[in-house]
Amino acid sequence: MVRENNLIIHMQDVCFSYPYGGQTILENLNFKLQKGEKLGLIGHNGSGKTTFLHIIMGLLPVSAGIVRILGNEVRTEKDFRVVRQKIGLLFQHADDQLFSPTVLEDVAFGLLNLGKSPAEARELSLKTLEQLNLKGFENRVTHKLSGGEKKLASLATVLVMQPRVLLLDEPTTGLDEATKERIISVLNNLDISYIIVSHEYDFLSRTTNDICTMKDGQIIYNGDSSMLHTHYHSHKMGKVSHEHHNGPI
């Protein structure tokens, strides 16, 4: 049962189409995220998953409908500036998130914009880097990091802001198993709500409680994440991964 006072995100009849006769991506979408929920979102490429996340952050304007964040309707850029202080978005591509010369500058950027002193921003940034096993990375040149290191540094730029909600867009794409395990550990130790968009069912089964599907411009609740699992079978060509599921995925 949804408790209205626990609602963090509430979307009612939200529509989105690209301008000038473009394709309709979201059509009368309704969605609720409660405090403490850890939700996985799946769906085929182009189904609107990333668009959905960007609308929550105010990066794309809705064509119709109502978006409420923490009880307040949000429409203007001024509204969404407040939202971005409370909801963190991890972009699919780390290079879209990192833009400063060094890791520390990137992680501290948001804190400085909030008015934190340089000393306080540095202290919080170093603490967050250590949490992600990136101690000693503060002076590393951002564009010289490996793909996995960039992803973890990007996550640090989000977590350092102490968001109430995390939105993660394909957080494990192209990562090695060790980095995936590190991200799983970090997520499982967070006491906040989050939505993870991913094609990796095994990852979602280990990090979320519920699964939804994006289909035909709507979000359809599927059920408990435990229905997702991955088997690895040995063949003469090596290990081959394939997913199994129950329900309308």
Measure the CA dihedral 37/41/47/50, to 10°: 70
What distance in Å separates the CA atoms of residue 179 and residue 43, rounded to the nearest whole number?
24
Closest CA to 193 of 87, 90, 94, 91: 87
CA-based diameter of the chain, in Å?
A: 59
Total Cβ atoms within 10 A of residue 75: 12
- The number of beta carbons lying within 10 Å of the beta carbon of residue 29 is 23
Q: How far apart are CA 247 and CA 249, in angstroms?
A: 6
- Give, in degrees to the nearest 5, the angle at Cα 34 between 206 and 153: 50
Question: What does pTM read for this prediction?
Answer: 0.87
CATH of domain 37-53+78-244: 3.40.50.300
DSSP β-bridge partners for residue 219: 214
Q: What is the pLDDT along the chain (249 residues), one digit of tens a residue?
A: 455 668 999 999 999 998 876 788 999 999 999 999 999 999 999 899 999 999 999 999 999 999 999 999 999 999 999 999 999 999 999 999 999 999 999 999 999 999 999 999 999 999 999 999 999 999 999 999 999 999 999 999 999 999 999 999 999 988 999 999 999 999 999 999 999 999 999 999 999 999 999 998 999 998 888 776 543 333 333 343 444 444 444
CA 62/CA 67 separation, integer angstroms: 9
Phi, psi of 8 (to 5 degrees): -105, -45
Domain residue spans of the chain: 37-53+78-244
Quick one: which H or E segment has residue 17?
Answer: strand 7-17
Contact yes or no for 246/226 (Cβ under 8 A): no
